[in-house]
């Protein structure tokens, strides 16, 4: 069986087929072009630099293409990296199907959809229920196939729905523990909070940000969609119930400097922010720990202040997302 990216150990020769998840043209100090690349397969992604790139190289090695790579597994500033020695596009008869290199959520789409729908039944406020159902229908295909992020947490196909379901499960535990929490509001906010990423990002393969994603962002984009949905369903978007829902979603990044136009001023908004942070952080740590050997540190996690995390010698778990399909 062919080795995957994270099967290669430090200083080991890399020889295999991988997807170019990202390929960005940059200019080196000597004035020559190079490509900053992220290679991907189902085990994750590792960066590499293709130096002295010609115009033909720039044209050939675009994101979304499969290449045959020869190189050496190294570390750079505490992070894994591939020193590229040879790279070419795949030939006829070699792996070319992009989907076989894309990491997927550990749950099937139908399974996630069924469980999320069970939470929808518990959204007892009529306006919230109608809005959530309408938007789940409108964005269904993208919602269940898109990643939750280009990098960092849940950056795999189906990651958006899986992240949403994880938050719903956490929200249920919180609402069970604290009876005064408005369960319906928390569930509605959890389902909708990141749905704007179906507009913000391009898709599950070689994900990039759309023009709307770069200029507006997913928080404002989903608020616009809620208002449009209210207009289509003849719901007053200025009613208290809708404003409370909109606030819960608008505030879910917690701080203005993190992209929210308002800080949480409703208990459920604060809880949603906390659960969002918790799930994202655990997933990032879990992924990084899965790539570290017991008794070593992970690579630095940019989204967690550049910290790395130690995997104790007695930890024999793989540290990656559990496959819940079995």
Give 82-107 pLDDT, tens digit per residue: 999 999 999 988 998 998 999 899 99
Mean pLDDT over 33-49 rounds to 93
What does the alpha-carbon distance between residue 267 and residue 279 come to, in Å, rounded to a whole number?
A: 18
Kindly indicate the confidence band of residue 292, based on its pLDDT and cuts at 50, 70 and 90. confident
Residue 322 pLDDT greater than 60, yes or no: no
Comparing 26-30, 71-75, 256-260, 277-281, the range with the smallest average pLDDT is: 256-260
Mean pLDDT over 175-198 rounds to 97
What number of other Cβ atoms are within 10 A of residue 297's Cβ?
15
Residue-level pLDDT at 314: 83
What's the pLDDT tens digit per position in 201-222? 999 988 999 999 999 999 999 9
Residue-level pLDDT at 300: 87
3-state SS of the chain: helix, strand, coil percent to 5?
40, 20, 40
Mean pLDDT over 105-118 rounds to 97
Which helix H or strand E contains 40, and what residues bound it? strand 33-41
Question: If you average pLDDT over every residue of the chain, what do you get?
Answer: 92
Question: 40-75: string of b/e by CB count within 10 Å (b at 16+)?
Answer: bbebbbbebbbeebeeebeebbebeebbbbebbbbe
Mean pLDDT over 185-196 rounds to 98
What does the alpha-carbon distance between residue 169 and residue 50 come to, in Å, rounded to a whole number?
A: 43
Which helix H or strand E contains 242, and what residues bound it? helix 240-250
Residue 38 pLDDT greater than 80, yes or no: yes
Residue 326 pLDDT greater than 50, yes or no: no
Q: What count of Cα atoms within 13 Å lies in the side-chain half-sphere of residue 84?
A: 24
Residue 81 pLDDT greater than 90, yes or no: yes
What's the pLDDT tens digit per position in 298-314? 888 888 998 999 999 98
The separation between CA 116 and the C-alpha centre of its own chain, rounded to angstroms, equals 18
Q: What CATH number was assigned to the domain covering residues 5-101?
A: 2.40.50.140
Mean pLDDT over 274-290 rounds to 93
Mean pLDDT over 246-258 rounds to 89
Residue 285 pLDDT greater than 60, yes or no: yes
Q: In the chain, which segments carry CATH 2.40.50.140?
A: 5-101
Residue-level pLDDT at 78: 75
What does the alpha-carbon distance between residue 166 and residue 33 come to, in Å, rounded to a whole number?
A: 42
Which helix H or strand E contains 82, and what residues bound it? strand 79-89
Residue-level pLDDT at 255: 79
Are 181 and 174 a contacting pair, CB within 8 Å? yes
């Amino acid at each position: 069986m062919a080795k995957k990216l994270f099967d290669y150990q430090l200083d080991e020769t890399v020889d295999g087929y991988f997807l170019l998840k990202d390929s960005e043209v940059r200019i080196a100090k000597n004035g020559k072009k190079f490509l900053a690349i992220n290679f991907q397969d189902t085990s994750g992604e590792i960066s590499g630099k293709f130096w002295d790139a010609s115009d033909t190289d720039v044209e050939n090695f675009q994101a979304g293409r499969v290449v045959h790579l020869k190189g050496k597994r190294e570390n750079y500033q505490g992070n894994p990296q591939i020193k590229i020695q040879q790279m070419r596009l795949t030939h006829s008869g070699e792996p070319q199907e992009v989907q076989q290199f894309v990491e997927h959520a550990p749950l099937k789409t139908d399974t996630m959809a069924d469980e999320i729908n069970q939470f929808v039944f518990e959204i007892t406020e009529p306006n919230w229920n109608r809005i959530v159902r309408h938007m789940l229908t409108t964005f269904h295909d993208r919602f269940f196939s898109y990643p939750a992020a280009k990098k960092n947490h849940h950056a795999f196909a189906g990651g958006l729905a899986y992240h949403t379901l994880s938050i719903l499960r956490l929200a249920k535990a919180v609402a069970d523990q604290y009876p005064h929490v408005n369960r319906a509001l928390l569930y509605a906010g959890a389902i909708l909070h990141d749905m704007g990423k179906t507009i913000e990002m391009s898709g599950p393969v070689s994900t990039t940000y759309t023009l709307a994603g770069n200029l507006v962002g997913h928080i404002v984009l989903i608020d616009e969609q809620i208002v449009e949905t209210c207009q289509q369903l003849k719901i007053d978007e200025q009613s208290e119930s809708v404003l409370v829902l909109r606030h819960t979603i608008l505030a879910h990044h917690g701080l203005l400097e993190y992209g929210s136009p308002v800080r949480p001023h409703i208990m459920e908004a604060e809880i949603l922010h906390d659960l969002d942070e918790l799930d994202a952080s655990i997933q990032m740590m879990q992924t990084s720990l899965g790539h570290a050997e017991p008794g070593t540190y992970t690579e630095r996690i940019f989204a967690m202040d550049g910290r790395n995390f130690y995997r104790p010698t007695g930890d024999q778990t793989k540290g990656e997302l559990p496959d819940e399909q079995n």
